[in-house]
Every structure is written in C-alpha cells, then in structure tokens.
Structure 1
C-alpha cells in the first residue's frame, strides 16, 4: 500500500486536557534523546508508553508496549485520546528547546508496509518552529493530529524563544487509521514551499560562475564546508553546517541511485 508523505487526520483531540496533563509533568522527568548525534540544543522527552525491551524508555523496541508511570498516574492522557481507536506501540512527549535543531535524518524503522505509523500531535507549537519533511515545511498547529512518513528525510529548527512540545504516537497499521489518513488528505493544508537559505545559495551558485569556481577548487570537505558557510553569510544567507552536510549526502545518494537498475 502506498501512503502519502503526510496527512492531517480529520479527528479531534482534547487539547486543553492534554495541556493540563503536560503541565503536571515534573521538570526532572525529561530525559535527553538517545540519538545524540542527530541534534543540537535541548531535544528531550518523556516516555508514556514504550516497548518492554527498549534500551531506554525513549528508545524503540520490539517487545510488547508497557505503560509508563506518567501515563498510568494521570488518566488525562487516555481521556484526551479516547475517541481515537489506535493500537499504540509507543507514546512520547518530545521537546525541542529554544534554538534547538534536529538535524536531517530518516527513521528507517518506520519504513515498510508493516512498520508503525507515526502521528504527531503538537501541544506547544511556537510560530518560529520549522518542521521540514522531504524539503517541505509542515504547517502543523497545536491540537491537530498529523501522520508523517518520517522514513523520508526530515529536520526541525526551533528559532523561537520557547520550547516546542509534541505528543508523538507510534501506532500499528489498522483499517481505521489508514482510512483517516486517506480522508484527511483533501483538507490537509498545503505545506510551505518557500526556499530555504541553503536552496537560495545553491541557486546563486548556478548564476555566479566565479563563486561556483571558488568552491569547486576546494578538495578538502571541511574547507569546502567552512568556505561555503562564510560565503553564504557574506550574502546574508544563514544555514547550519548540518544542513550543508545533509545536502551533500543527498547529492551523493541521488548520484548513486541514478545507476541502479
């Protein structure tokens, strides 16, 4: 079955109740995300439901899901989601602090027809948070429920002064959920296709042969990255070293894939 990259489900969640439950979470309950190479700044979470064999409560696993203390001790989580007949394999609160970045990556465990389907429910969603999926900015708002195919390349930048917090549910595929994903497509807001600073710099390279030649002459990857960032900054274009790394990886992947039979 072919699924879309994203869909806003036509469902209702009780956002005020979820925010009440969120406010009851103690500060010391938040744990740093296990993928330490994938982010800069504060990316932390609280496990509500996770696999019994997970290395940490925030990590993925394959065993039966276990309801963790925050879920068991506060019935508001279940009450707020009671109208969604989901088979939840994992439920986490994920927080990206002010200035935090989640570098571009893919969640390969979500790939394949029998993989879990990931839903994002924004709880605190500041306006200056950019969630990019396959080069498109997802226009998610607080209280909505979105299916996102995160086996595709994605990254997040929190340019705001406050934290972004999502309730993230990994769910087993099922008829109801598949139907909601399909029914949500016609009313899903169109993503923002505005070019990023890196994309504008890439276009500039096409139209400025001298600038392009300056970078092509650099053989050392680190020198290339440093010079690219400096030249972009001189032109008022700001992007991160990690964004540039991701673009370079994608370029190599596209080159390799064209030769596959």
Structure 2
C-alpha cells in the first residue's frame, strides 16, 4: 500500500504533560536552526535525541541516537510517549517565532524507501500558523499527532503574535507506525483540499490560455513575479513574492518554462 503524504494518527497525546515538560526547559537551551538560509525570523530548537556524530545537536547524523538533556533528565517526555511503540532516532522541539517563515524546501533525507518517518506533535499552535505541504494547508492543532512526508515541498508561515512549537520525532518504519499512518483519523483532510491560493492560481493558468499567454513573454523573473501577483489578485487569489520565488527554486521552474513552449 502506498503511504499517504500526510495523516493525522489515531493516537492519544498527553498534551498537559508535554506542556509541563516544555515549560521546564531553560531559555538558553534553544539554539538557532542550522539551516539558516531556509527561514526568516526565529526558527530555533532543542535537541532531545540526536545522533552522536551530529555536527550540532539539531543537525542530522548517522551515529547512535544519543539521549540529550532534558530528555535524559525529565521523565515527563518518556511518560507522555510511553504507549507509542516507536523506535525514535531523533526528537527535537522546533520553535517558529511570531512573524517567522520557513521557506519552501524539501527534506531529501526522508525520501528513500528505508528513510525515517517524521511525526509532528504540535504543542503550541496558534490558528494563524499555516503549514503548507505540496501546496496544501495541513490543519495541525495542539495535542494532535501527524505523519508528514517532508521529502515533498513544504513551508510554514507564522502570522500570529505567539510562537509555534512542535515536538518532531524521526522514527524507524515499523508495523505499528505504518498501521497508524494507514488508518488515519477521519479529520485528516483529503489530498487536494485546502490548497493555497498559489496552487489555485497555477491550476487556473494551466487551464486558461489567456493567462498562460500573459506570462509566456516574461523572461525577467521580477517581471514574471509582478505580473503573476497582479493576475492572481484579479482572480481573487493572493500570494507573496516569496511564495513564487520558493516555488521556482524548488522544482517548479515549469511555472515559467512550460508556458513558453
């Protein structure tokens, strides 16, 4: 069976206990994310479990998983996850500050047939946070657990005045986890639902020769972006320059190329 791109898992999350453990973490433990080119604003984290050979505690590695403080010193993390039979190779808290953006990118190390499976458990999740996966909004709420195939293009916008904090677990594939992903909850949105205005505009252009011709002659990227923004607004579709640039950076050069052929 083909694994879905995302799934809200039918598991119970002890959110109050996880929030207690989160509140006990000292401010100085939060480190800036190693992928500094992938974000604007505060994107920081705390490593709970990471590879012994990782360049930094938040970075990936191939060594033995090492339990780091506060995981090794605060039993509340173990207690909250004790009913999940997972082989966890990496556990991190990732925080996106108010107004912060994680630009569109792919985590290619998660794309192989034997790759780890990544779970997101939102702990602090303001409603003004938009998480896009393959152009679709994934409506994650605090106290839920989601599998996300982040080898696909994804980005995050925090439009709120509060931080977003997720517990992110990388786990080895196994029968129990695969079954939870396959089962999913009925609240998991259908693929293609909740698409961004950028994706809606792209599909309209592909279906509308007038819109396609309006963009075909624009060889300058800045002129292309300005025209796409204006045409999108005429259609009642609103997106940002950064969204367009990210789409063109991450395997969607066809946005311009296919319309010029």
TM bin, normalised by shorter chain, reads 0.7 to 0.9
Q: Distance in 2 between matches of 1:256 and 1:224?
A: 12
SS of residue paired to 2:139: coil
Q: Distance in 1 between matches of 2:167 and 2:189?
A: 22
Q: How does 1:44-193 map to 2 (within 5 A)?
A: 44-184=44-184, 187-190=186-189, 193=193
Decide which moves more: 218-227 or 246-255. 246-255
Report how many aligned residue pairs link the two structures. Answer: 255
The two structures have a TM-score, normalised by structure 1, of 0.86
SS of residue paired to 2:20: helix
Unaligned ranges ≥5, structure 2: none
Q: Name the residue aligned to 1:41.
A: 41
**CA offsets per residue over residues 1-52 of structure 1, 9 Å max, x none?**
6211111111112110100010111122111111111111111111000001
Matching of residue 252 in structure 1 with residue 223 in structure 2: no
Q: Distance in 2 between matches of 1:236 and 1:99?
A: 24
**CA offsets per residue over residues 157-194 of structure 1, 9 Å max, x none?**
1111111100000001111111221222x524225834
Alignment check: 8 A CA contact 1:49 1:91 kept:
yes
Q: Distance in 1 between matches of 2:234 and 2:255?
A: 29
| CA deviation after TM superposition for structure 1 residue 201, in Å | 4.6
Query: Cα distance 1:7–1:237, how it changes in 2: closer, same or farther (>3 A)?
Result: closer
Q: Name the residue aligned to 2:198.
A: 198
Q: Distance in 2 between matches of 1:218 and 1:169?
A: 43
Alignment check: 8 A CA contact 2:136 2:195 kept:
no
Q: Distance in 1 between matches of 2:208 and 2:256?
A: 22
Q: Distance in 1 between matches of 2:119 and 2:47?
A: 15
Query: Cα distance 1:137–1:195, how it changes in 2: closer, same or farther (>3 A)?
Result: closer
Decide which moves more: 248-257 or 127-136. 248-257
Q: Distance in 2 between matches of 1:235 and 1:166?
A: 35
Alignment check: 8 A CA contact 1:50 1:91 kept:
yes
SS of residue paired to 2:70: helix
Query: Cα distance 1:135–1:22, how it changes in 2: closer, same or farther (>3 A)?
Result: same
| CA deviation after TM superposition for structure 1 residue 231, in Å | 6.4
**CA offsets per residue over residues 78-127 of structure 1, 9 Å max, x none?**
11111111111000000111111111111110112211000000001111
Query: Cα distance 1:254–1:113, how it changes in 2: closer, same or farther (>3 A)?
Result: farther
Q: Distance in 2 between matches of 1:98 and 1:17?
A: 24
